[in-house]
A and B are shown apart, each in its own frame.
Chain A
Amino acid sequence: MDIFVLYMASKATTNQQLQCYHCGENCISGKIHLEEKVFCCEGCKMVYLVINQNGLCDYYDLNEKPGISQRITVRKDKFAFLDDKNIQAKLVSFRDEKQTHVTFYLPQMHCSSCLYLLENLYRLDKGIITSKVNFTRKEVDIVFLNALTSLRKTAELLATIGYEPHISLNDLEATRPGINKSMVYQLGVAGFCFGNIMLMSFPEYLGIDASEEGLRGIFRWANFTLALPVLLYSSLPFYTSSWKSLKHKFLNIDAPIALAIIITFIRSAYEVLSGTGGGYFDSMSGIVFFMLAGRILQDKTYRQLSFERDYTSYFPVAVSVLKDDKEQTVILPEIKAGDTLLIHHEELVPADGILVRGKAFIDYSFVTGESLPVLKEVGEIVYAGGKQTEGNIEILVVKEVAQSYLTKLWNRDEFKKQEETKSVSFVHLLSRYFTYIVFAIAAATAIYWQIHDAGRIWPAVTSVFIIACPCALLLSNTFTNGNILSILGRHHFYLRSAQTIEDIANADHIVFDKTGTLTSGREQDIVYEGEPLASEQEQKIAVLASYSSHPLSKGLARYIGIIHDRQVDGFKEMTGEGIEGFVEDDWIKIGSKEYVTGERNGEEGTSVFISINGKQLGHYRFYNHYRESVPGLVQELKKNYRFSVISGDNASEKDNLKKILGEKTTLLFHQKPEDKLDYIKSLQQKGKKVMMIGDGLNDAGALKQSNIGIAVAEQTNNFTPASDAIIEAKQLTRLARFIQLCRANKNIVMASFVLSIVYNVIGLFFAVRGNLAPLIAAILMPASSLSILVITFGSSSLQARLMKL
């Protein structure tokens, strides 16, 4: 059997790489298999066995190779902290004597197979009653019986099938904000009332026989009743918003709108009570309905994304502390200086410390965007935020979690003060002028009728307020914003809120982070220096490199490209030093200078040394790889923006950056997280509107301080620091066009506003004369709303199409 599969495997490699039946990753050896199914690692095979034994093989039928690679296995007692009563209490959403309800965040969830498996958890563990997936939020709600299983066991079960729950320090601190659905309810109520009032207003519009005068009264009273929920419930967002702004001595657009709603209602109620007319309940409820719809469209947020993350979302809940040679699980806030932490393979270093045992290979990609791990020897300082990549280490804590080099950034005042709106939208200023003009017209009308016919003051003045409500401005603004947000979202550029559109349009200075933003975190440029290698030799190096999961080996294997698999014997990996083994008949060593040549010093930058059969041949140098999109993007943005680059790295890339970004660009190196924040601040003090584009946690301060902070993410599921917008790295090419679209926003709003003024003038023409017939009002209002809707949607979509978005 074994020989047969090996034969099959080797035969397959000549044509194509074997792919793991579970996760679809390339299988290096093809030695791990079950019947004809090949796996890349024992972990994947285990998961397959679990799924197969429980009759859940539909998992593999729904999607091909849906699994999550198990090469990096979860440590056995990783979830031991879930046995702690205090932690449990903070994580579970409900618990009684019998059962517990808990929600886990599973970032690995990606297809319908995941959904299938996760909703069938009860077949894997009898203690689990139900599990329900929310795919958009990548969460699973689990209900389990306390008698049969526990929180820890549930988390471990999820981890064994490849869905390790992400539990971060953040989960302990804040309670999850619920989604505010009240505006949707208000919209529903307004829509219901609007539709019915419209129907019942037909007698008003078309007239009614004198013989059926009684009916008219009934319809009017029905309208009055139906308008009450609109006035008292659906319009609440406008009242609260205008009240809030008035308290801050600021007149926003909601204030005149709230005023218009109230005046319309009073005037209409007066007409109904006195029997003089039917009022404008239809217009009032209609406009409230449209305005709410616009607000909801504009506020539609991306629930799967978070714009608020700080370091606590990255840091684990608990770590292992060594006390008297025993491992204890301690929750993170209780770590004190002087504790010795045991950091396992693939775990985050949560506090600054001195390395006391083991060899640290720290991956700081969360922090700096640099994906190549950094080597630290015993006695060196290890900063919080990095991830240990090879084996276990022990560190002696020198600073508490909140006081670390990285995390103390969040103790600064900029982070403590509550988030206030950074800027005020131009629509509020515009609406203010609008309001003044309306008041002036109303006053003029009042004076005019005072002289000519005092009895008509009241109807004329109220009509002016009804007609001249700046709801058209609000409508055009919200609908344009909503449409632009969704166009940008379709292109994987996600904005936090509608105000961000304007902030983007107003920026005049762009600050880039270097590593991970201008350069790609994943790829490196590799250059070989030394004795020339035959292609046969290169191939053997690549095959050996592919056996290691170290990023440098992986990069090297990818760079050379394996044409076909070869036999490797006696493969050895020295953690953090290098790898060696026989490829066919050659003994190859790949690794650090010390490992390969025995010499210690003189190594600069990142290099991988090679020796074949004991003969040292040369080394591969790894350079930062600039994203292909950067030069083009810079060309497009050059006309309108000044650039700066702030990097935490050394100045070795200075000349290269000057070439790409132009001579005028300010380049700053060796920048600490706080320096980045201060630099943005200094630019702002010079009156610049700064757009910061960054990716790592070390940019968090700068992103926060800038007028508009854009976080770059390789995948939108990845973690990004708090920001105003998130852009997928692949979309950076289009950033210039995105900015252009945001600039178009203002023009579109203005254009549709001008149109609405035309409607207003027609309406005012009737209003000032004091004879605004219900039918005219009933036609004007929906006509203006709908035409604004069409224009804003149409022109923003057209603009996007013109820009080839």
Chain B
Amino acid sequence: MSVIIVLLIASVSVASLFLAAFLWGVRSGQFEDDYSPSSRILFDDKPSSTNQSI
């Protein structure tokens, strides 16, 4: 019986983690702009010309 209570606490805390992640995602504006992140990831990080001297 007590093992069910442990499981209960475990499952609710995992779910709370997801809830927290969702709230954080909304707060930091991740759902606001659905175009830029998908393009941004494709940009190459070329070293800028000033750093090339080394």
Contacts and interface: CB of A to CB of B under 8 A. Distances in A.
A748 B15 CA distance: 36
A494 to B, nearest CB: 17
Interface in A169-187: 179, 181, 184-185
Contact of B33 (A134, A199, A215): A134
A218 interface: yes
Given A133-B36, A199-B11, A192 B19 contact: yes
A391 interface: no
Given A55-B49, A136-B33, A215-B1, A112 B42 contact: yes
Nearest to B16: A192
A222 interface: yes
A612 to B, nearest CB: 52
A192 B5 CA distance: 19
B53 interface: no
A55 B48 contact: yes
Contacts of B31: 184
B44 to A, nearest CB: 7
Given A54-B49, A188-B22, A188-B23, A215 B4 contact: yes
Contacts of A215: 1, 4
Contacts of B49: 54-55
A134 B46 contact: no
A200 interface: yes
Nearest to A53: B49
B11 to A, nearest CB: 7
Interface stretch (A115-123, A525-533, A657-665): A115-123
A184 B26 contact: yes
11 contacts: A54-B48, A58-B43, A112-B39, A136-B35, A188-B19, A188-B23, A189-B19, A192-B16, A192-B19, A199-B11, A200-B8
B40 A119 contact: yes
A189 B35 CA distance: 27
A275 interface: no
Interface string A36-67: 00000000000000000011001000100000
A199 B10 CA distance: 13
B26 A116 contact: no
Contacts of B27: 181
Interface of A: 54-55, 58, 62, 112, 115-116, 119, 123, 133-137, 179, 181, 184-185, 188-189, 192, 195-196, 199-200, 212, 214-215, 218, 222, 303
Given A136-B35, A188-B22, 10 more contacts: A134-B36, A135-B36, A136-B33, A137-B32, A181-B27, A184-B26, A185-B23, A192-B16, A196-B11, A196-B15
The DSSP consensus for interface residues of chain A is helix
A135 B19 contact: no
Contacts of B5: 218
Instruction: Give the top 7 A-B pairs by smallest Cβ distance, nearest first.
Output: A112-B39, A135-B35, A55-B49, A192-B19, A135-B36, A188-B22, A136-B33
B54 interface: no
A189 B4 CA distance: 24
A199 B4 CA distance: 13
A133 B48 CA distance: 20
Given A112-B39, A196-B15, A200-B8, A58 B44 contact: yes
A212 B5 CA distance: 13
Contacts of B1: 212, 214-215
Nearest to A61: B44
B46 A58 contact: yes
A70 B49 CA distance: 26
A196 B36 contact: no
B36 A115 contact: yes
Contacts of B40: 115, 119
Contacts of B36: 115, 133-135
Contacts of A137: 32-33
B33 A192 contact: no
Nearest to A225: B12
A195 B1 CA distance: 22
Contacts of A185: 23, 26
A123 B50 CA distance: 9
B16 to A, nearest CB: 7
Contact of B15 (A54, A192, A303): A192
B33 A135 contact: yes
Contact of A134 (B11, B12, B32, B44): B32
Nearest to A116: B43
A184 B33 CA distance: 16
A196 B16 CA distance: 10
